[in-house]
Chains A and B, each alone.
Chain A
Amino acid sequence: MSIPKLTTQSVQATAKFCAAWAIVAMLFSAANAADWGTLKGRFVVEGDLGEAAAVNANKDPEFCGKHNLMDEAIIVGEEGALANVFVYLYLKSSKTVEIHPDLEKVDTEPVLLDNKGCRFEPHALVLRVGQSLEISNSDPVAHNTNLTPTKNPGFNQIIPNDSPLAKTFEKRESYPSPAACNIHPWMKAYVLIRDNPYMTVTAADGSFEIANLPAGKHEFIFWHESKGNMKNMTFSGGKTSRKGRAKLTIPAGDTLDLGDIKVSPSVLGK
């Protein structure tokens, strides 16, 4: 490739032009909300899954036994609302996504994971690369937190009462990573580590919303801890693939509402 020789004049001219263009571009992107859109929906279980099983809290029974612990693998609320479904943007390892200016900066506030009442609080959470995960222990009994990610180094650490353990991660994971406490084997949590903000977990009412997505066609993953990828799940206007993914078009300046996404018990291994 030949590099054209630049005269001082042409450099100045180019610089001016670039500066002008940058300002125009800035105004344009700030003003143009039409480049971004929202995805929302609500997961509803169709059919009866029965009652969640009680946990046999046979470790530290004096303390853990008094919390009426229930198996948290599948949390179904009123009208079948399914909590703790991870919804996030699928990306091939070589790809990145344009991030909305408001979301570019990684939150300096840590994401909290507390060992409280012999369970993890919260049970499912999302974390950005570079953001601090702060693990604390509010219980008078000891807990260890054993996180086993795939791409990032894991850890298995005793969590003291007085000072929380802070962790950051460098790499994007493809799936949520399990956290466990080996002292209390029923304790489980899931942490999704991604290098972009386009991820969320459904709330107790089964709903989720991901705002400020770049408009256009994207692939999303739907993942639940009981069976991983939520395969062959139908919703209005589509269905998830054998890998639990769906290609969806995010409308510019508008919201794609998937409505009630019906989850059959078989998707959850029931």
Chain B
Amino acid sequence: MNQNTMKQKLNSFYLLACLVAPLVTVGCSSSGPPEFRLDMVKMVSEETPTAQEYQQEIADVLGALFGTPDEPFALPETGLNAIQLQMAAGSAWSDEKGYNHGLYRKHCVHCHGITGDGRGPTARFLNPYPRDYRPGVYKFKSTYNADRPTDEDLHRVLVNGVPGTAMPSFSLLPSSEVESLVEYVKYLSIRGQMETALTNFVFDELGEEEAEDEDGEPLLDGDGEPVLRRIPFNPAEDAEQQEVVADLLAEIVEGWDAASEKIILPEEDQIPAEERSDEEIAASVDKGRELFYGTRANCIKCHGPTALGDGQQDDFDNWSKAHKKFLSDVAESHKGEPTEDSQEFAASRDEVAAMIYPLRNAIPRNLRQGIYRGGRRRLDIFWRISAGIPGTPMPATGSAAPGGKGTISEAEIWNIVDYVLSLPYESPSRPLKALPANTEGIVN
């Protein structure tokens, strides 16, 4: 769909109708129906400090666009299926015909939380922490690094679980229930991405401005200082803001709609034959091993010379990096002179910092265990190597977009797939080469 028709659709009656819908309150009281929580790290961060009035207004707009955990709502332009969302949302119960409702709260909420922020009651005790859906970034998928996952990708993760983590398989649920949950996860992601986009918009473009009189001259107070006026965030009454909200939502939805066109399809003639002789497999494994230790694919840097995941271990994934940055800003702010900005947010920053779970490094996978979080099919491993793992330090070696060129060829990626799949069975005593493998250019 092109931008214009999208925009037209979004500027439709629905958007207006929902933006002027009754306001929803924000907060997290212990009683009453569950509510979506704002991302407080973002709200009080140094990058986008958001005053409480704006926080309330952002929550109101999100409430109008997405409803509540009990009564989810999705604009038709999001493409989300309202019936599936209804099945997944609300309290868990079964009707007379045996249909289950409230699937998300029955199966997911303990770890992933009401808001999908990966902060359910058990999250603190898990390693790895449960996924935070709000950035819309997923690790195990068939699409290019920067792209959203397809429905099939999310479906596969739900059915298979994520081996080596606390994420179980939901293969015993009827397919219709899994599909409802996939829809609900997408809904939580789109809501979360929208929250970030709105917060950025409010910081970048709203705030206080110098008031002007009818002639466009600045208004001055008694001391000759300009009078400041807060620009409210209220798209229901501001056509320009309404258009911005519509555009932001359209951009996010476009990303999800485009996912099915961004699937990495291996070239047929590069895929190794089904039936290969032992010699052919061994030759491919050797090539893969060469690449593993070489500078072009360079797997060794993180997965280590032993492939035990003992290379670069002090990096973080993007979810933790945001928290790490926030914690270090807060720690630093206690050292310097308080500023206007730090005074306004100091108390809430300390409070939010105390709620962040202990940071953990992104540890590269131990490839000798034979446990593959994103699936053990050859195609799954191919996708991991080609697209990298979004949100983590694992880079892409294949093309970054349809029609592009990768660092290594597809045939070479398949060689690495063969080597990786052979690693759990490779004798640890197999002599390693002198490392690093490419020291020639270094000595000069």
Chain A residues in the interface with B (C-beta under 8 A): 59-60, 62-63, 92-94, 140-142, 144, 146, 148, 150-151, 153-161, 163, 165, 167, 174-175, 182-183, 185, 227-228, 231-232, 242-243, 266, 269
Chain B residues in the interface with A (C-beta under 8 A): 46-47, 145-147, 200-201, 203-205, 207, 240, 243-244, 247, 251, 295-298, 301-302, 312, 314-315, 318, 332, 336-337, 339-341, 388, 390, 393-397, 400, 405, 407, 436, 438-442
Q: Using A146-B393, A158-B396 as known contacts, say yes or no to A140 and B339 having CB atoms under 8 A apart.
A: no
Q: Using A92-B205, A158-B396 as known contacts, say yes or no to A142 and B341 having CB atoms under 8 A apart.
A: no
Q: Interface SS of chain A: helix, strand, loop or mixed? A: loop
9 nearest A-B pairs in the assembled complex, by CB-CB distance: A140-B441, A153-B146, A182-B393, A142-B298, A144-B395, A142-B295, A158-B407, A156-B395, A63-B442
The closest CB in chain B to the CB of A146 belongs to: B395
Q: List 29 A-B contacts (CB under 8 A).
A: A59-B312, A62-B439, A93-B204, A93-B247, A94-B244, A140-B440, A141-B436, A141-B438, A142-B298, A146-B393, A151-B251, A154-B146, A155-B396, A156-B393, A157-B407, A158-B298, A158-B395, A159-B407, A182-B302, A183-B302, A185-B312, A185-B314, A228-B47, A231-B339, A232-B340, A242-B207, A242-B340, A242-B341, A269-B336
On whether the beta carbons of A163 and B405 are closer than 8 Å, the reply is yes
The closest CB in chain B to the CB of A155 belongs to: B400
Q: B390: which A residues are within 8 A, CB to CB?
A: 156
Q: Using A182-B312, A266-B337 as known contacts, say yes or no to A141 and B295 having CB atoms under 8 A apart.
A: yes
The closest CB in chain B to the CB of A148 belongs to: B318
The closest CB in chain A to the CB of B333 belongs to: A269
Q: B315: which A residues are within 8 A, CB to CB?
A: 182, 185
Q: Using A94-B240, A156-B388, A227-B46 as known contacts, say yes or no to A232 and B339 having CB atoms under 8 A apart.
A: yes
Q: Interface SS of chain B: helix, strand, loop or mixed? A: loop
* A183 contact from B240, B244, B247, B298, Cβ within 8 A: B298
On whether the beta carbons of B395 and A93 are closer than 8 Å, the reply is no
CB distance from A59 to the nearest CB of B (A): 7
CB distance from A64 to the nearest CB of B (A): 10
The closest CB in chain B to the CB of A141 belongs to: B295
The closest CB in chain B to the CB of A182 belongs to: B393
CB distance from A7 to the nearest CB of B (A): 33
On whether the beta carbons of A140 and B295 are closer than 8 Å, the reply is yes
Q: How far is the CA of A230 from the CA of B361 in the complex (A)?
A: 31
Q: B204: which A residues are within 8 A, CB to CB?
A: 92-93, 174
Q: How far is the CA of A150 from the CA of B204 in the complex (A)?
A: 13
Q: B393: which A residues are within 8 A, CB to CB?
A: 144, 146, 156, 182
On whether the beta carbons of B396 and A157 are closer than 8 Å, the reply is yes
CB distance from B195 to the nearest CB of A (A): 14
Q: How far is the CA of A213 from the CA of B213 in the complex (A)?
A: 28
Q: B340: which A residues are within 8 A, CB to CB?
A: 232, 242
Q: Using A59-B301, A156-B396, A160-B407 as known contacts, say yes or no to A93 and B296 having CB atoms under 8 A apart.
A: no
Q: How far is the CA of A142 from the CA of B201 in the complex (A)?
A: 38
CB distance from A151 to the nearest CB of B (A): 8
CB distance from B206 to the nearest CB of A (A): 10
Q: How far is the CA of A264 from the CA of B395 in the complex (A)?
A: 39
Q: B46: which A residues are within 8 A, CB to CB?
A: 227-228
Name which of A60, A160, A175 has the most chain B CB atoms within 10 A of its CB: A160
